[in-house]
Amino acid sequence: MIYFVRVNGDTAYNDSNHPKCYVSDEPPIFPQTFFNYYNLCLDQSFVRIGWPDTGDLTQPSKAGALAQCYDLMSVPTYIREYLLEFKNITVCSIILMPDKAVPGDLFIGEVQGPYHYFHNVPVAPYECAHRVSVSWDRNSQGMPIRYKANSFGINIHGGFWRYAFARLDQHHSASAILNRR
């Protein structure tokens, strides 16, 4: 299976003006509420998805959550579906992770371990609590390979590219992604 997972977005966990969501010592992000965790994901071999205040998706509601922002049943249905499908990503699945700072650039890796919920604020950000272990494609010097979406026939101006999460198995570029090496 092939999944597209965005690792950037907005957050309220580092903003004391949102007391129900604020997490003391959550690492500061600049600008204040926007984050882009692609470097952290590459360096620590995982991919993350947001909405950490739902808690560990393998446990009862809110297990491990640090705030009272929302729970799994109060988020919109499409987000609940993102989270539940993310939790079920299997080992050997392929992950595409875009770099929001460079439109059209993405990193590709293979899932090495199942879903887990982990945070250790301020060292491991709360915003990165929902995780799947990934072995990212690297060059001979060990640097992550930066791919161009258009080389796989992926349009970055619409469709799944705009979503936080998407399963791409049926996408026309799936074979190009699987045969990238």
CA of 66: how far to CAs of 15, 21, 48, 61, 85, in Å? 14, 8, 17, 12, 22
Q: How confident is the model at residue 128 (pLDDT cuts 50, 70, 90)?
A: very high
CA of 159: how far to CAs of 105, 124, 148, in Å? 16, 31, 17
Please say whether the structural domain 2-178 has been given the CATH code 3.30.70. Answer: no
CB distance 129 to 52 below 8 Å: yes
Assess whether pLDDT exceeds 70 at residue 30: no
The one-character DSSP state at 67 is: S
- The domain spans of the chain are 2-178
Q: How confident is the model at residue 22 (pLDDT cuts 50, 70, 90)?
A: confident
Q: How confident is the model at residue 32 (pLDDT cuts 50, 70, 90)?
A: low
CB distance 67 to 86 below 8 Å: no
- Segment 150-181, tens digit of pLDDT: 998 888 998 888 899 999 876 656 778 888 76
Within 10 Å of residue 78's Cβ, how many Cβ atoms?
Answer: 11
- Segment 41-95, tens digit of pLDDT: 999 999 999 999 999 999 999 999 999 999 999 999 999 999 999 999 999 999 9
b/e sequence 41-61, b meaning 16+ C-beta within 10 Å: bbeeebbbbbbbbbbbbeeee
Alpha carbon distance 172, 169 (integer Å): 8
Predicted pLDDT at 31: 53
Alpha carbon distance 18, 23 (integer Å): 10
